[in-house]
Structure 1
């Protein structure tokens, strides 16, 4: 028991150090105030069924919680959150509040089966995510409602906006819908229906690029853009989530026009070549990852799906191979994809430019 307490104390201290480093000189963390200074402390929580499980964390439904203080952030779940911000003591209970719903919130915790370095990294990632979500406010970024216990402790958790499904799951729904259209719909209507579905998927990609553009304006790099870190609410709004690997780019780590000294991070399938090689990188790495995600959304297929890790690395870095873009993809969107996955990071467009181009394409559709 004594050893367990020492380990827990070490995790909490590591989390404090990580958050302290994040806040020093930060332009994202307002006035350097961290989750240790100002947070919505959750005093009591009733959990529901498990919603998902990742490499480092579990997410469960929130049925009820009581929080002592509110964060000065905005939420998309305004019917609950605006009411929460008016009081120093908030009780969320769908059984007593008919306007509330259990699908509004979820609780995220470090997996209890993790030990050693895995547990430490998971604890730090969750603390970092809590800090960044407290400091950010965007329609297409998942919002945070509160935190419980000390970051790094065994019982630390965060309460976030609940997501109904991931982009991976949504893509499977799109695939089923596509097969239904081609199998059952009158041939004269298939082409226009498929074009409409394509535009809908591009619109979601535009919303996602808006969230990334917001982060990049703050000189924040997400570093792990993939379908499993993109979700949809029950109202079908797309949201970026899981900020454990996100980092604020600091001038002292800059080694080139768009390059910074950063650790290797991300998911292999969506990594930019410079990241995979272990070279310095920056915001263009997110743009590269977005290009593959955009390709996946319009094609409803996994990029590099038939390649193992070594084959993928050779194809990406040595041969500079990229997935083939279908002729059914609108020309403007194809141009965005191809420019955004350029092997030279300096030649990729900024995310704000990607957002602008996607918006112009959607506005041009009759």
Structure 2
């Protein structure tokens, strides 16, 4: 195959990818309750950023489909003018907190080491995530600060509020801290320290539930709730991020009460039984996932940690087994965990009720 033929195939593939991204965005806006038609990221270039207008720093993390790096500076002030620069400048303007020396922003891109098919799917998901974040605003959902100037290209990227660490990192640190607290000799002091620590973890969980309740109020399902998709800012604000698999639930896919025709999606350890079985599902699937995440936050252990995929599926779907809730977990929290992981989706509470119950 000669070079010209290869280039033609590459160009055709990229045109096809851009067109699929455009179709995906149009589908999102059709019949949407919160994405106005004609005002999508394809129609509004207010927050567009060119690659050569940002200076990237250290890599912050890498997922299955994307990687994230810090943004050290901008050459323009369309984003965060009060933080970076008050005037447009041809030189790069640093975007860093002078006290903590923490950068404010991060750039998220699709990994280049994936197969052609996976790059294609990941790019569509990234464009979808950009559209959702453009249309959402909540203090516990990561904020979108800008989008690449060519949605749908393989080089597309998004600029996000920077997160310092994930909940997975934090839970690991909590577990180490718990082992230290157990060595405190004074029993009363030890109990008080453990209680304060657990109360803080529950407060984080309540903040996170408020973000999910906000999404559910817009009839949006997150679909991949796990510690790796929850992060913290440098000042310890918990944030939900990575909305690439989120979907707005629309009437044309509805087949019953809280049941929609959706693809099998998410991370096995946190999947609801109906999702794992490939049945129609809806917002209660997020509630189930949150119950396992809440359990993990108060126990600092992975749910179903000793089970392989087959064992987990049998335990969850056939035997309806769940992790054991420790006796020292506050009664209200234990109650909401148990109610939220009910095997029958229609018997789980709404996320707003979960939020109201956590204290």
Quote the residue 1:41 is aligned against.
Answer: 48
Say whether the 8 Å CA contact 2:96–2:102 is kept in structure 1: no
* Cα distance change of structure 1 residues 265 and 67 upon mapping to structure 2, 3 Å threshold: farther
Q: How does 1:43-82 map to 2 (within 5 A)?
A: 43=50, 44-67=53-76, 69=78, 80=80
1:29 matched to 2:35? The reply is yes
Q: 2: CA distance between counterparts of 1:320 and 1:97?
A: 49
* Cα distance change of structure 1 residues 88 and 222 upon mapping to structure 2, 3 Å threshold: farther
Q: How does 1:158-197 map to 2 (within 5 A)?
A: 158-184=158-184, 186-197=186-197
TM-score by length of 1: 0.90
Q: Give the superposition deviation at 1:154.
A: 2.2
* Cα distance change of structure 1 residues 90 and 222 upon mapping to structure 2, 3 Å threshold: farther
Unaligned runs of 5+ in 2: 1-6
Quote the residue 1:73 is aligned against.
Answer: none
Runs of 4+ in 1 over 3 A off after TM superposition: 66-70, 80-92, 95-102
Say whether the 8 Å CA contact 2:96–2:104 is kept in structure 1: no
1:18 matched to 2:24? The reply is yes
Q: Which secondary structure does the structure 2 equivalent of 1:30 belong to?
A: coil
Quote the residue 1:75 is aligned against.
Answer: none
Q: Give the superposition deviation at 1:82.
A: 5.5
Q: Give the superposition deviation at 1:86.
A: 8.7
TM-score by length of 2: 0.92
Quote the residue 1:225 is aligned against.
Answer: 225
Q: Give the superposition deviation at 1:92.
A: 7.3
Say whether the 8 Å CA contact 1:61–1:102 is kept in structure 2: no
Alpha-carbon RMSD across the aligned residues, in angstroms, is: 2.2
Quote the residue 2:3 is aligned against.
Answer: none
| Partner deviation per Cα, 1:224-281 (whole Å, 9 max, x = no partner) | 0000000001000000000000000001111111111111110000000000000000
Q: 2: CA distance between counterparts of 1:193 and 1:68?
A: 45
Q: How does 1:82-101 map to 2 (within 5 A)?
A: 93-94=93-94
Q: 2: CA distance between counterparts of 1:260 and 1:329?
A: 34
Q: Which secondary structure does the structure 2 equivalent of 1:106 belong to?
A: strand
Q: How does 1:92-111 map to 2 (within 5 A)?
A: 93-94=93-94, 102-111=102-111
